[in-house]
Chains A and B, each alone.
Chain A
Amino acid sequence: MNQATIGYRVFQAFLVAFLVGLGTFIMVRVLPGDLAYRIAAGRYGYDLVDSVAAEAVRLELGLDGSPILAFLSWFWDLIRFDLGYSLVTGELVRDAIFHELGHSVDLAATALILSLFIGPPLGLLAGFRPGSIIDRLVLASSVVFRSIPHFAIGLVLIMIFSIQAGLLPVAGHGHPLSRVLPALTLALGLAAVSSRIARDAMIKVRESDYYLFGRTKGLSESQVFFRHGLRNVSVPIITYLGMQFVYLIEGVVVVETLFAWPGIGHSLVHAIVARDIPMIQGTAFVMGLMFVFLNALVDFLNRLVDPRERVV
């Protein structure tokens, strides 16, 4: 990657930080409901939230002050890498995000790796014999796994692997095997789509002139696949990985709640309900940066496998 691209990504990161911060700030302020009451409900729970608690929160946090000043102060803190304190828990937002994002990244990365072992190999297999029984089976299962919600896939997996077989923990974290079921739940959904991408890419590559030429000059099926096929098939799969992050973020919210996994998706939903502004801004900011970073990574990987990009 050259300097101009890196510079562009850094600029993009800065822009994302500013826009995400501004966006979440405005959205939280225009949402209906009194901020002080919302935060008090988040802090003290529905049995203890009342006007006394709300007034105490309002006084403590100075919620009557100017919103423009509040935003500017948040942005000034952000430039100094200070994300502030959660209005609900009183913990440092940085620590909460570090703890929770760490768990989410752990889960997402495991899911992504698992899905790479399931989706693309099956897709390639199907792509080798389009129209075969394997191809149709892969198509059918990918339709099933993509259309069933995560929640249902997760429940079925728990029933099979934990209740019936007694092999894996139902939920929670801390045990090395705890991540298997939530990651598998996400991975099946991811693999459902990446197998399709891999299949189509494989068919296209197999039909290409260079592939046919490789076969014609006497290379075996596996030789031509590993020398000329794999690299070309990888490009659309890697590009598609970038888009799967969105799917992962969406899935993580549901899966984390089902498996009692202490991740960022789960905590972001809670933060939004409780109007925990620093927590929402901090989380959205870090997620925004992650998107920029991951897209940059995908670009980088594509350049690595596809030399044509480097020449251009």
Chain B
Amino acid sequence: MSKILGAFMVVLVLLLPFSAFAAPPMIQIVAPWEISSKDPSRAGFVYGRLEVAETLVNVDLNGSHIPGLAASWDTSDDGRIWRFTIRPDVRFHDGTLMTTETVVNSLLIARQKPGVLNRAPVESIEADNEAIVLTLSEPFSPILSFLTHYSTMILAPAAYDESGNVVEVIGTGPYRITLLQPPQKMEVAVFTEYWGPQPKIERAGYLAAGRGETRALLAESGEAHVVFTIDPASVQRLARRDHLEIRTVPLPRIVSLKLNCAHPGLEDVRVRQALSLAIDRAGIAQAILRQPDLVANQYFPPSMQAWHLSDSAPLRYDTEQARHLLQEAGWHVNDAGKLERDGQLLQVEIVTYPDRPELPLIAAAVQDQWRSVGVEATIAISNSSVIPARHQDNSLEIGLISRLLALVPDPLGILVQDFAPGGGDWGAMNWNSDQLSAILAKLIVSGENDTAEELNRQVSEILHEEMPIIPISWYQQTVAVSRQVTNVIIDPFERVYNISAMEWNEQ
């Protein structure tokens, strides 16, 4: 056996000089997200992050809108007509010039597909000289933010077939695709005719690795330069490696419980508050997420400055108070230690999905914590699509979900859907607040202005008080960055990897 192993090692050593992996000529990015398609509506995030294709509007690290393929824009007084002036002399990777017609073509196709544009009240998109005119049926301030979303990226006319399917990703970005092997691999090289400054890094590779262990090992071995979503268990080990730096960036994402407020047990706000009081968030953050500061003490994480309340009373863990509130709401602990009212037990079903591996674990923790106050919860682990499906047929009782609040940098577009009267697929369920609806309607019309801050605050307070959704924890992105590269900027909105700004470390 040792002979064979020895021979095997000899072969490996002989092959070593031919191996290119030891000194990769390209920046290697590793992330868990697979490249499922060429279509921006399905996998546009990866083409946006690798700077292959661009959108009309961009955002800076603070979430402010900055010009992208649109050099400037203005809006009519009634907020219904938006004019975007197109950047001149922009070329697609196939050499064709970007014109207003090609932009309109891309946007019209994007609007027909699920994404964000089909959720905005867009009446028409037309070309007018050097500008694109977007007419809305009613004022809708998040439209600017919607145009930063990857599903609205601009591709060359040759990228589409006659029915609007994307056959090739031909964008305008500083990098063009040189190899595309869905679902795992992609390589890009610098596009020399890019309209902006030429990047220093000439080639980059993207590898989708689903397992956290694999990603951590890729960072550890030095094969990958920037590795996203490092699992909590690997962070400490990687931090000890000299060639790596661990960075964390807060993400506008939240784990929460979506409650069916028409459920006989959950319609009483006191029960919802009691359920929130009975959750040990610190324990969950410590034991499952291994990040004590991810405890969600309100709905909006601190990274969403405009919405986060810095002075609100944080959500507490207080089982005594929970029992008290439940009693007030008419629920009494029976002989078996379970809550009962008029002969009915307080029973709920928590539905969750394994796409984010921490969710089933959190569900089990919540189930256990609620048992201590007498709430009988069962857990059903299914597919993410079950949440909207069972919201629609009204059979959902409680969903444990992970919600990206800033799908686009401005969360307003999401909030309007999630807290529409009666609720939204991923938001409240059978819950109404006339006050909240009125505020959101006001914000949709006015957008960012002086009164916005106060209105945002009121939204946060209503959610905090009424608990149609119980927040559990926030998120952060943990990235392992190799010291071989410098100037690595991690985007909190996860729109771009900023490879064009990176440089090789000469030292």
Q: A: which residues have CB within 8 A of B?
A: 32-34, 37-38, 40-54, 56-57, 88-91, 99, 117-118, 121-122, 137-138, 141, 155, 158-159, 161-163, 166-177, 180, 257-262, 266-267, 270, 273
A47→B407 contact, CB < 8 A: yes
Residues of A within 8 A of B355 (CB): 46
Q: How far is the CB of A132 from chain B (nearest CB, A)?
A: 13
Taking a contact as CB atoms closer than 8 A, the residue among A41, A180, A258 that contacts B384 in the complex is A41
Complex Cα distance, B400 from A226, in Å, reads: 66
B388→A37 contact, CB < 8 A: yes
A41→B21 contact, CB < 8 A: no
A/B pair count, beta carbons within 8 Å: 165
Give A42's nearest chain B residue, CB to CB. B36
Q: How far is the CB of A267 from chain B (nearest CB, A)?
A: 7
Complex Cα distance, B99 from A296, in Å, reads: 59
Q: Contact string, B381-400, partner A, CB cutoff 8 A, digits 1/0? A: 01111101101100000000
Residues of A within 8 A of B12 (CB): 161, 167-168, 180
B36→A172 contact, CB < 8 A: no
Give B355's nearest chain A residue, CB to CB. A46
B217→A158 contact, CB < 8 A: yes
Residues of B within 8 A of A262 (CB): 181, 183-185
Interface of chain B residues 292 through 315 with chain A (CB within 8 A): none
Complex Cα distance, B167 from A166, in Å, reads: 39
Residues of A within 8 A of B223 (CB): 162, 169-172
B220: interface (CB < 8 Å): yes
B39→A41 contact, CB < 8 A: no
Residues of A within 8 A of B209 (CB): 171-172, 260
Interface of chain B residues 156 through 186 with chain A (CB within 8 A): 165, 181-185
Complex Cα distance, B42 from A42, in Å, reads: 9
Residues of B within 8 A of A121 (CB): 4
A258→B211 contact, CB < 8 A: yes
B114→A56 contact, CB < 8 A: yes
Residues of B within 8 A of A138 (CB): 1
A89→B42 contact, CB < 8 A: yes
Residues of B within 8 A of A257 (CB): 210-211
Q: How far is the CB of A151 from chain B (nearest CB, A)?
A: 8
Residues of A within 8 A of B183 (CB): 89, 262, 267, 270
Taking a contact as CB atoms closer than 8 A, the residue among A44, A158, A175 that contacts B114 in the complex is A44
Complex Cα distance, B404 from A91, in Å, reads: 28
Q: Contact string, B1-43, partner A, CB cutoff 8 A, digits 1/0? A: 1001000000011011011111000000000001011110110
Complex Cα distance, B18 from A177, in Å, reads: 10
Complex Cα distance, B46 from A33, in Å, reads: 29
Residues of B within 8 A of A172 (CB): 184-185, 207, 209, 218, 223
Q: A41-B384, A52-B119 are in contact. Are A163 and B217 (CB under 8 A)?
A: yes
A50→B388 contact, CB < 8 A: yes
B185→A33 contact, CB < 8 A: no
B114→A46 contact, CB < 8 A: no
Residues of A within 8 A of B388 (CB): 37, 49-51, 54
Taking a contact as CB atoms closer than 8 A, the residue among A46, A99, A166 that contacts B22 in the complex is A166
Interface of chain B residues 209 through 223 with chain A (CB within 8 A): 209-211, 213-214, 217-218, 220-221, 223
| Number of chain B interface residues as a range | 35 or more
Q: How far is the CB of A278 from chain B (nearest CB, A)?
A: 15
B114→A258 contact, CB < 8 A: no
Give A138's nearest chain B residue, CB to CB. B1
Residues of B within 8 A of A273 (CB): 383
B82: interface (CB < 8 Å): no
Of the listed residues A48, A99, A141, A158, the one surrounded by the most CB atoms of chain B closer than 10 A to its CB is A48
Residues of B within 8 A of A88 (CB): 36-37, 42
A43→B386 contact, CB < 8 A: no
Residues of A within 8 A of B210 (CB): 257, 260, 266
A260→B208 contact, CB < 8 A: yes
A50→B214 contact, CB < 8 A: no
- Excluding A56-B118, A169-B19, 9 further A-B contacts by CB distance (< 8 Å) are A38-B383, A41-B384, A41-B385, A49-B388, A89-B36, A175-B20, A257-B210, A259-B214, A261-B184
B114→A40 contact, CB < 8 A: yes
Complex Cα distance, B210 from A32, in Å, reads: 25
B382→A33 contact, CB < 8 A: yes
B113: interface (CB < 8 Å): yes
A260→B114 contact, CB < 8 A: no
Give A171's nearest chain B residue, CB to CB. B214
B1→A49 contact, CB < 8 A: no
Of the listed residues A44, A118, A266, the one surrounded by the most CB atoms of chain B closer than 10 A to its CB is A44
B425: interface (CB < 8 Å): yes
A43→B37 contact, CB < 8 A: yes
A33→B385 contact, CB < 8 A: yes
B1→A46 contact, CB < 8 A: no
Residues of B within 8 A of A91 (CB): 37, 182
B426: interface (CB < 8 Å): yes
B106: interface (CB < 8 Å): no
Residues of B within 8 A of A45 (CB): 36, 42
A167→B37 contact, CB < 8 A: no
B389→A171 contact, CB < 8 A: no
B217→A162 contact, CB < 8 A: yes
Give A158's nearest chain B residue, CB to CB. B217
A170→B353 contact, CB < 8 A: no
Q: How far is the CB of B290 from chain A (nearest CB, A)?
A: 20
Taking a contact as CB atoms closer than 8 A, the residue among A32, A46, A117, A260 that contacts B353 in the complex is A46
B256: interface (CB < 8 Å): no
Q: How far is the CB of A252 from chain B (nearest CB, A)?
A: 15
B4→A118 contact, CB < 8 A: yes
Q: How far is the CB of A294 from chain B (nearest CB, A)?
A: 26
Interface of chain B residues 104 through 137 with chain A (CB within 8 A): 113-115, 118-119
B389→A54 contact, CB < 8 A: yes
B386→A33 contact, CB < 8 A: yes
Q: How far is the CB of B210 from chain A (nearest CB, A)?
A: 6
B402: interface (CB < 8 Å): yes
A34→B385 contact, CB < 8 A: yes
Complex Cα distance, B117 from A48, in Å, reads: 12
A43→B385 contact, CB < 8 A: no
Residues of B within 8 A of A163 (CB): 217, 220-221
Residues of B within 8 A of A261 (CB): 184
